[in-house]
Amino acid sequence: MSRKKETVEIFGERLKVAREMRGLNQRQLGERLGVPPSSIAHFEGGRRKPSFENLHRLAGALEVTTDYLLGRIDEPIIVPTTDPLLKDLSKLGNDERELVAAILKVLVARRPSRRGS
């Protein structure tokens, strides 16, 4: 019988993935948040749950959403609400996002260089 993962287990896994994705070790992330590295280890291991404030700070430091860390969504990116284009991008699947990325590369390559301006 398989069991559904607990939110705290998902959180720990997602926190570790996001931290590694940003190239940070537990000490570096702890320094960014002003908490000891052991707190990060406890969060990742599921032995402690972060406060709401620390959850918010973790998401900000790792540039992911709290929904990603809590397992509510699978995409870790933060989408600024000020740009409707970026907000819509978050609704696309991986294949569609790859297509958008390819189109953006073409558009950026077409722009004249602004170096030296």
Task: Measure the CA–CA gap between 37 and 17, rounded to whole angstroms.
Answer: 16
* pLDDT value at 116 more than 70: no
Q: For residue 76, what pLDDT band results from cuts at 50, 70 and 90?
A: confident
Q: What is the mean pLDDT of the chain?
A: 85
Report the 10 Å Cβ neighbour count for 83.
Answer: 10
Residue 78 has pLDDT above 70, yes or no: no
- The pLDDT of residue 92 is 73
Does 107 have pLDDT greater than 50?
yes
Provide the whole-model pTM: 0.64
For residue 61 the two structure tokens come to 């430091």
In SS3 terms, 37-83 reads as HHHHHHHHHCCCCCCHHHHHHHHHHHCCCHHHHCCCCCCCCCCCCCC
pLDDT given at position 96: 86
